[in-house]
Structures are given as C-alpha cells and as structure tokens.
Chains A and B, each alone.
Chain A
Amino acid sequence: GAGVSQSPRYKVTKRGQDVALRCDPISGHVSLYWYRQALGQGPEFLTYFNYEAQQDKSGLPNDRFSAERPEGSISTLTIQRTEQRDSAMYRCASSLSAKRGPTNEKLFFGSGTQLSVL
C-alpha cells in the first residue's frame, strides 16, 4: 500500500481481555517497529523486526506483550490480560532496509491504534 496501515483504528476492551493489533507496513519494507505513545508523551520503543526475525524486544514492558511477523510482512502485537495502564496509542513504523545496527533511514509511521482498556 501507499503507507503503513494499522487496524483497528480504535479498540475498546474490558480489563482482562486479550487484544491483537495489526500492522501492514509499506510494501517492500523489511524493518518494522512497534512504539507505544501515552497521552502527552513521546512514542516509546517496544520491539523491532528484521524481516520475520524479532531482533530487539527490549522495550516490551512485561510478558503480557508479544509480537510476531511470521512472513516478514504483516505484524501483530498481542496484549494478553489487558490492564488499564495499557491504554495508549500503539504505533507501527517501517523502513526500507535491513541494515544491522543504526541506520540513517527515515521511519514511516502509521496512524496508530488507540487502545482503551475499561
């Protein structure tokens, strides 16, 4: 597609339920990132994929959070047993190359999924 696509746009769930957030990166982009942004804060890194390999998951806050990208394209971020503190905007970003380590490539962000846990 033309840009990074995320779905759903809004997700309201009850505490204790599991949620799955989807990211469809720009076609051909091999690097994919997940970020979380609380209201009034900057985005906070969660995890990074190089093709299907999850190369950095240091930002995942606890074991209720997991992510996958099984075919190196679409990615899913899953939050199990959601809590109210999980409420935030979840953003996905992609970039073209798979260079190891730091890169000067710009990231392209999706519009995000706004998660509200009641």
Chain B
Amino acid sequence: KQEVTQIPAALSVPEGENLVLNCSFTDSAIYNLQWFRQDPGKGLTSLLLIQSSQREQTSGRLNASLDKSSGRSTLYIAASQPGDSATYLCAVRNLYSGYALNFGKGTSLLVTP
C-alpha cells in the first residue's frame, strides 16, 4: 500500500523567507504527484501536478520537484507572504490503481508579517 509522508507537520516562518516542504512516498510506481493547498472552510485547490516523466513544475512563486526513484518530492515557495498561510497536501496517483489519490497528512504553514 502506498504510504505518503510529509515533513514537517507544521512550519512557521517570517514573511519574505524562502521555504521547502517535503513529501516522500513508499512505492515509486506512480502516475503523477500533485500538491494541493487547503484553506479552512474551503475545498482543496490543486497547485501543481507533476507527471511521472517530469522532474519539476513551476507556477509563479511555487516550484515542485519530483525524484521518483527515491520517492521524494519538494514544494519550494519563494518570498513567502502571509497569504500563503494554509495547509499544503501532497498526493500521489499510483500507476496500477489509478482512481484514488493517496494523500499525506499535510504541512500546516504559517507566514507571519
């Protein structure tokens, strides 16, 4: 069974810092990996999707990398802002059981002014 782990569980940084969130998974036979943002009272928002053949994806201040062989992904947030405060979830879609996304528990990020 695919296990997805996210480190750290919580993170507090001052505004303007660059930061890295980590995600690891146990089964490297994945189809893709997604990073989501979760805000209280709202749904999950897909931030970046990396296909298994890709190494990274970028959107604005966000950059996600994927090392499938080692079972790792990182989400890099540049020049953090208070509006970035949220829970960030990593989710893996397996190659052979395609319908389910396997989520980590998330990293709760607080960016202080």
What's the minimum C-beta distance from A90 to chain B, rounded to whole angstroms? 12
| Among listed B14-22, B62-70, B78-86, B91-99, interface-contacting one | B91-99
The interface size bin for chain A is: 20 to 34
Number of B residues with CB within 8 Å of any CB on chain A? 27
Q: Return the 6 tightest CB-CB contacts between A and B, nearest first.
A: A42-B103, A102-B98, A45-B100, A102-B31, A109-B43, A109-B44
| A residues at B contact (CB < 8 Å) | 3-4, 33, 35, 40-45, 48, 55-56, 58-59, 91, 93, 101-104, 106-112
CB contact between A42 and one of B32, B41, B46, B106 (< 8 Å): that residue = B106
Chain A binding surface SS class: loop
For residue B98, which residues in chain A have a CB less than 8 angstroms away from its CB? 101-103
What's the minimum C-beta distance from A34 to chain B, rounded to whole angstroms? 11
**What does the 1/0 interface line of B46-65 toward A look like (CB < 8 Å)?**
10010100000000000000
Say if the beta carbon of B34 comes within 8 Å of chain A.
yes
A4 to B93, CA, bound (A): 21
Whether A102 lies near B44 (C-beta < 8 A) is: no
CB contact between B101 and one of A41, A101, A107, A108 (< 8 Å): that residue = A107
Determine the residue in chain A with the shortest Cβ distance to B108: A40
Whether A106 lies near B34 (C-beta < 8 A) is: yes
